[in-house]
Structure 1
């Protein structure tokens, strides 16, 4: 057995020794009444392009505000899906891509409040812990997209298990996860890995996409410097930067996209959402843009009393208009 393979298996063994095991049912937090959740690897064995020397999994606690599940993952060896099943499934599902500037993935080991809200609406929610290019995976900048496509295919291949209609799967993403959401919306058909099992013939195109305070452009001055550096390397040339600017290549088969941003976002310029909206408009893709005056980066998705906020309810209306089975007033 190669040393790389041993290192990968060591990472998997470490996960198996942790309190939350891949594939084991977890208690879904919150009062949404959703069924027990689970967490499992998306690849059978090593993910494609394991770098020489392997990758050692790492997660760190992000805050000291009393949330024991507020993690960031600077290194991901085993990409995972966390599933939050709907107690009364409508047949719809949503796949979420967390942010982190492609330097880390900001997500816990249990379903987030957003996933629990979707599950409470009858939409089975999935959150993806995806790999990062800086760990040296051979696909480079396409590494996160490999995981995004694979996750969508795994969801559809196993849809009956969760009461999901394979044709009724949406995606949402936040910050750099918004870039990944835009990437799968526009590059769902790109061949970024060789098929590994019977799940891979499944379509990776989402029914509808929601990009929240997203990184979109990789070309300065709109580019988010950290995301650009982590995805493309320290000195990407103009051609590479353009190739990974989601707004510059919006094909005719791109699904409908909702964009939401705060004008005072000091981390990711709201011009990213404007640029994506213009890219969709030029390609005649149904799109909706919401820019609020104040809110900063990561504007709250919930009101202080726990109700879904403006952006989630607007996404629900937009997604319902475009076929997602989610309850929505005014859809």
Structure 2
């Protein structure tokens, strides 16, 4: 995560087609597939905020979506300086009644769209789940909500999906969230936090913003030393956050009583986000009587998503998630 990027350089933006659904405006932050052999991006886009994201008066960043892949067979893009958060919709051929909000990671510096977003969405859409990949705002970009700006987007996304459940053939009580790395931290906040982080804007905000099931992949759970992912903490809370601020955003320090069931998966050899992030959180979930399951893999490293673990033991993780969710009457 050491790539040096000019904040106002428009890299990787392209003019891919997009379809706007009803009131929320569509973002111009879409990318094209020209010259790529992999599957095209879905054209169905939902803008989160009908009148613009809240608290943007001090925001001066310009969105970029660079492409890191040099292999024409697949994309590896990330979204940085997002100003108009969006959902990219993956509709299955045969909907099974469930929906999943996918929140990719990126250390709260950017969001890796393909590896932990679109790639994962295709896997679960392939078995019938309607998937929505969230492109969210980042906390250090000047938003009035600061560290809560990404959570505003996650809460709004869940409400939009739930309020439109019938349009997608989805049960409004079967809306899950899957987050990876820093996206796992955000997904955890969406599950654990019971407070609305923004003022209601329309009828969609009348429904619940909390998920019915949560999957956390190698999550950035703690903001405290010695197991913190320092880059995520700096982007979220600044260079020198107070102990109180650190505790307030550490998932293992939160009150999880009444939260939705949680599935944790992590590689023991993760050198970026130590496995103790998941282990500490699991202890908290058990204490809070949250139905939980955890799977630890001997190898896999960090950020493996789908593509990077082919042929390795961790490649079974989607099937493990499906089996667990099936026991909760939640088809994936």
Considering the TM-score relative to the shorter chain, is it more than 0.5? yes
SS class of match (2:140): helix
How many Å apart are 1:23 and its aligned residue? Answer: 2.0
How many Å apart are 1:66 and its aligned residue? Answer: 2.3
- Residue 214 (structure 2) pairs with residue 217 (structure 1): no
- Residue 197 (structure 2) pairs with residue 192 (structure 1): yes
* Residues 288-326 of structure 1 deviation map (CA, whole Å, 9 limit, x = unaligned): 111111110023536648999321111111112122123
* More moved, 146-155 vs 284-293: 284-293
- Which stretches in structure 1 are left out of the alignment for 5+ residues? 1-14, 327-331
With normalisation by structure 1, the TM-score equals: 0.86
| Corresponding position of 2:133 | 127
| Corresponding position of 1:3 | none
| Corresponding position of 1:278 | 283
| Residues 90, 123 of structure 1: 8 Å contact kept | yes
Distance in 2 (CA, whole Å) between partners of 1:53 and 1:98 is 22
| Residues 152, 204 of structure 1: 8 Å contact kept | yes
Root-mean-square deviation (CA), in Å?
A: 3.0
| Residues 82, 109 of structure 1: 8 Å contact kept | no
Q: Which aligned pairs between 1:157-168 and structure 2 lie closer than 5 A?
A: 157-168=163-174
| Residues 299, 314 of structure 2: 8 Å contact kept | no
How many Å apart are 1:268 and its aligned residue? Answer: 0.5
> Against the structure 1 CA distance between its residues 214 and 36, is the aligned structure 2 distance closer, same or farther, given a 3 Å change threshold?
closer
- Residue 298 (structure 2) pairs with residue 293 (structure 1): yes
The match for 1:18 among 15, 19, 30 is 15
| Corresponding position of 1:38 | 44
How many Å apart are 1:68 and its aligned residue? Answer: 6.2
| Residues 301, 308 of structure 1: 8 Å contact kept | no
| Corresponding position of 1:52 | 58
* Residues 152-201 of structure 1 deviation map (CA, whole Å, 9 limit, x = unaligned): 000011112211111111111100000011110101x3121000001001
- Which stretches in structure 2 are left out of the alignment for 5+ residues? 1-12
Distance in 1 (CA, whole Å) between partners of 2:284 and 2:116 is 35
SS class of match (1:288): strand
